[in-house]
Amino acid sequence: MIITVASFKGGVGKTTTAIHLAAFLQGQAKTLLIDADPNRSALSWAQRGELPFPVVDEWQVDQLHNHYHHVVIDTQARPTQADLATLVSHCHLLVLPTTPDILALDALVLTVNHLQQLPAPQYQILLTAIPPHPSRAGDEVRSLLQSAHLPTFARGIRRYAAFQKAAQAGVPVYGIQDPKAEAAWQDYKAVGQEILTRLHP
Amino acid sequence: MIITVASFKGGVGKTTTAIHLAAFLQGQAKTLLIDADPNRSALSWAQRGELPFPVVDEWQVDQLHNHYHHVVIDTQARPTQADLATLVSHCHLLVLPTTPDILALDALVLTVNHLQQLPAPQYQILLTAIPPHPSRAGDEVRSLLQSAHLPTFARGIRRYAAFQKAAQAGVPVYGIQDPKAEAAWQDYKAVGQEILTRLHP
Amino acid sequence: MIITVASFKGGVGKTTTAIHLAAFLQGQAKTLLIDADPNRSALSWAQRGELPFPVVDEWQVDQLHNHYHHVVIDTQARPTQADLATLVSHCHLLVLPTTPDILALDALVLTVNHLQQLPAPQYQILLTAIPPHPSRAGDEVRSLLQSAHLPTFARGIRRYAAFQKAAQAGVPVYGIQDPKAEAAWQDYKAVGQEILTRLHP
Amino acid sequence: MIITVASFKGGVGKTTTAIHLAAFLQGQAKTLLIDADPNRSALSWAQRGELPFPVVDEWQVDQLHNHYHHVVIDTQARPTQADLATLVSHCHLLVLPTTPDILALDALVLTVNHLQQLPAPQYQILLTAIPPHPSRAGDEVRSLLQSAHLPTFARGIRRYAAFQKAAQAGVPVYGIQDPKAEAAWQDYKAVGQEILTRLHP
DNA sequence: TGAGTTAGAATGGCACCACCCGTC
DNA sequence: GACGGGTGGTGCCATTCTAACTCA
């Protein structure tokens, strides 16, 4: 199973999402994370600590990826139209993380417009960095997306300082000392479940 | 005076910074904002409401920019090394917004490394989206940057929902109804002052 | 029903206990609190704000107390042996608040020794200001008291800043703005229940 | 030098203060602690373990106290006006421990009112059982006392479980095994220093 | 090898702040 | 429109338990 994570805009938790989806899938079967983002964020995350799956850059892929059951790809931000077509055609699901704010939604709309010109694109939008109650930004954006009939994960990822600590420590969020680490990990586990039920009903 | 805003990573408040620095400079003299980001975030911000200065894309620049005293340029994310050289050589100050988190700092280091290979680059780092007390992420990252002798604005921009509302309303942050709108605007005004005293001591 | 609150040692929550037991009983029937402590703590508590029952000093009692169903008496600290005998013989239950520390227990032992020389004294010990987990001071002292066959309330009162705020505001603890106000009140409600089931089985 | 410790209200650390001031003074010269509190808390403290100075009750005083350079007296709680006059006139300094809460302050005000009717009373207020950060109860009460021009020790005594352990073990706080024992002892040492500089400038 | 010492995990109370939603 | 209640995230501290580590 190949999961690609992409977004037009940076800073929306693309790398965090790739890492934690890979961590979830690793719980099911051998998983590989390919860091195709020129910033090499996922690689430096892995370098600072230890992740339960290997992380490689896109040049090391050929000799490896048929040893793995699942592959998660962290792509560069702002893919071109052509890039998008390639991405979509080579994966089972394209995950589009976005924060619940106007600027990110703007960029999301551009991406989706491009996607919908492709034949039967498999993609799903993931709301990330959702601010805590009483902000309703998360709910508002979700219902907005749903009313636009855009495929969105039912579960979103809340904004927790635990994710920052995890990035700093170089581990998945469940590996750090934080009162909200468990809740943060549950969010990604729920999203991982949604992916599994979508692709293997 | 030409101010360029750039960053390797998206989602760090690049567009917000460009808009509010332009709003500040407009208070001194006629100012133009050039939106050179392919996402056209600044343009869509302007389109949703009204900004006190004109916003144009990079193709409309030639016939305009000598009518203006100040020009702020919102560049695309992830400029190449060559792009950076061009940006730096054509402006009086390069502003590098960054959020106080590891992933953004990673990208910042790449940018700065590139910059320091250029002759006498004029740039300054701006901390944005600083989480509220009791988080000390802002202070920690600032002292980290200072201990690395990187030029950093003394004032940072705090994370306020008011900025989201401003983006949605298409106005600068002082133009919206929000208890923290004033504080948010003060942050950018202080940064604008720092720029003025740096460039016109 | 007449409840007397007494202790050899001050600072163990005697006044707080008297006030909150009266507040609980007021929920059942008309209740009067008599402040017989020379420090007049209960009266000054009532004066700072508003309590749901009247508070009077011991000189105002005669003309009043037959209008009330329940009477709670806050006595002075360090009653003499003779005082104790009088107290016990004129109430249905003597409540002895004590904090879970050695110095308070010392004083408690003196009180209890005196009490046990009286015929069939009705009294029960209430643990107050119990420090939070992981301190086990509360549990340790409770089992110590039980192993000495001293009648002790099953529920203790935990140490919460909410009680201080309540004293300052002049209201019962449920009347203030504090995240732990509800838990604090539940403690006293449970103790009140224990009293009711003891006296009206 | 004769130091008397008194308070209208119990449970504010009167005995703990007397013991630790005596322990401090013992470091300067031979010191005697007179336990005049009917609860005999200091005596039972001494009995449970070993203190570096003798503790006697008020009946054993006559034949002893001229052998000692310093004498600390732990008085009973709630002295009458007459008691207070006697206490003040027979000591060099009256130390009034109080916890930073409204009920204790109430009692303190009564004491101070009585004191100020005496000629040139030498007394100083000591804040005890100060709750830890982030509570600011200690600071608030101290500035309140200072704004009322009441003589207050600059250093307060923080609330530490170490004091309970010390009482249980029958030793001064520095004699027990506890991570905060040293900090607790420093608090009293600082207060002792303040006394010395006040009385022997 | 055993005992004392220290380092870290876990827990809970607390204050602060940002945010939304009522009321006045 | 300002103000207060309510909610939730975050950091900090005190405390205890456990585990590792040192020293005799």
For residue C65, pLDDT over 70 is answered with no
Banded model confidence at residue D18, pLDDT cuts 50, 70, 90: very high
Task: Give the mutation candidate from A8, A15, A39 for the B interface (greatest B CB count, under 10 A).
Answer: A39
Rounded Cα gap, residues B145 and B140, in angstroms = 9
Q: Are B51 and B172 in contact (CB under 8 A)?
A: yes
For residue C191, pLDDT over 90 is answered with yes
C67 touches strand E (CB under 7 A): no
Strands (E), B28-141: 31-35, 55-57, 70-74, 93-98, 123-127
Question: Which one of A41, A101, A135 has the shortest CB-CB distance to B103?
Answer: A41
Residue percentage of chain D with pLDDT more than 90: 69
Average pLDDT of the segment spanning C136-161: 94
Banded model confidence at residue C9, pLDDT cuts 50, 70, 90: confident
Per-residue pLDDT reduced to its tens digit, C43-63: 999 999 999 999 999 888 776
Of the candidate ranges A27-31, A75-79, B84-88, C119-123, the one whose mean pLDDT is the lowest: A75-79
Q: Are B9 and A10 in contact (CB under 8 A)?
A: yes
- Residues of chain C (118-177) having a beta carbon less than 7 angstroms from strand F: 131, 134-137, 177
Rounded Cα gap, residues B10 and B22, in angstroms = 19
Average pLDDT of the segment spanning B18-22: 98
Place of tokens 């520390």: C101
Determine whether D148 is exposed, middle or buried from the number of CB atoms within 10 Å of its CB (0-12, 13-18, 19+): exposed
Q: What integer pLDDT is reported at residue A156 of this predicted model?
A: 96
Average pLDDT value over all residues in chain D: 91
Q: For residue A54, count other CB atoms closer than 10 A to its CB.
A: 17
On chain D, the residues whose CB falls within 8 A of the CB of C112 are none
Which CATH number applies to C2-199: 3.20.19.10, 3.30.300.30, 3.20.20.60, 3.40.50.300?
Answer: 3.40.50.300
Q: For residue B114, count other CB atoms closer than 10 A to its CB.
A: 19
Tokens of D84: 């207070």
Banded model confidence at residue B59, pLDDT cuts 50, 70, 90: confident
Q: What integer pLDDT is reported at residue D64 of this predicted model?
A: 66
Name the residue ranges covered by the structural domains of chain B: 2-199
CA dist list (Å): A116 to A80, A122, C104 = 14, 10, 75
Strands (E), A36-144: 55-57, 70-74, 93-98, 123-127
Q: What integer pLDDT is reported at residue D38 of this predicted model?
A: 87
Per-residue pLDDT reduced to its tens digit, C66-90: 789 999 999 987 778 888 888 889 9
**Minimal-distance CA residue of chain D relative to C167:** D102
Q: What integer pLDDT is reported at residue C126 of this predicted model?
A: 97
Verify whether the Cβ–Cβ distance B102 to A167 is below 8 Å: yes
Rounded Cα gap, residues B70 and D141, in angstroms = 54
Average pLDDT value over all residues in chain A: 92
Banded model confidence at residue B36, pLDDT cuts 50, 70, 90: very high
Average pLDDT of the segment spanning D21-43: 94
Q: What integer pLDDT is reported at residue D76 of this predicted model?
A: 84
Q: What integer pLDDT is reported at residue D65 of this predicted model?
A: 58
Assess whether the previous peptide bond of C134 is cis (omega < 30° from 0).
Answer: yes
DSSP state of B158: B
Rounded Cα gap, residues D72 and D89, in angstroms = 14
**Minimal-distance CA residue of chain B relative to A134:** B161
Neighbours of chain C (3+ CB pairs under 8 A): D
- By C1' distance from the Cα of D165, the closest nucleotide is F15
Of the candidate ranges C104-113, C187-196, D17-26, the one whose mean pLDDT is the lowest: C104-113
Rounded Cα gap, residues A125 and D141, in angstroms = 54
Residue C167's closest CA among D114, D99, D10? D99
On chain D, the residues whose CB falls within 8 A of the CB of C131 are 161
Per-residue pLDDT reduced to its tens digit, D140-189: 999 999 999 999 999 999 999 999 999 999 999 999 888 899 999 999 99
Verify whether the Cβ–Cβ distance A101 to B135 is below 8 Å: no
Q: For residue D200, count other CB atoms closer than 10 A to its CB.
A: 8
D161 touches strand F (CB under 7 A): yes
Q: What integer pLDDT is reported at residue B64 of this predicted model?
A: 65
Decide: helix, strand or coil at residue B111.
Answer: helix
D131 touches strand E (CB under 7 A): yes
Q: What integer pLDDT is reported at residue A65 of this predicted model?
A: 59
Q: For residue D167, count other CB atoms closer than 10 A to its CB.
A: 25
Tokens of A56: 């490689």
Q: What integer pLDDT is reported at residue A79 of this predicted model?
A: 79
Average pLDDT of the segment spanning A133-157: 94
Per-residue pLDDT reduced to its tens digit, C152-189: 999 999 999 999 999 999 999 999 989 999 999 999 99
**How long is the CA A134 to C1' F7 vector, in angstroms?**
6
Per-residue pLDDT reduced to its tens digit, A78-133: 778 888 888 889 999 999 999 999 989 988 998 899 898 888 889 999 999 999 98
- The pTM of the whole model exceeds 0.85: yes
- By C1' distance from the Cα of B160, the closest nucleotide is E18
User: Which long-range CB contacts under 8 A does C118-122 form with residues at least 24 apart?
Assistant: C118/C84, C118/C85, C118/C88, C118/C89, C121/C88, C121/C94, C122/C88, C122/C91, C122/C92, C122/C93, C122/C94
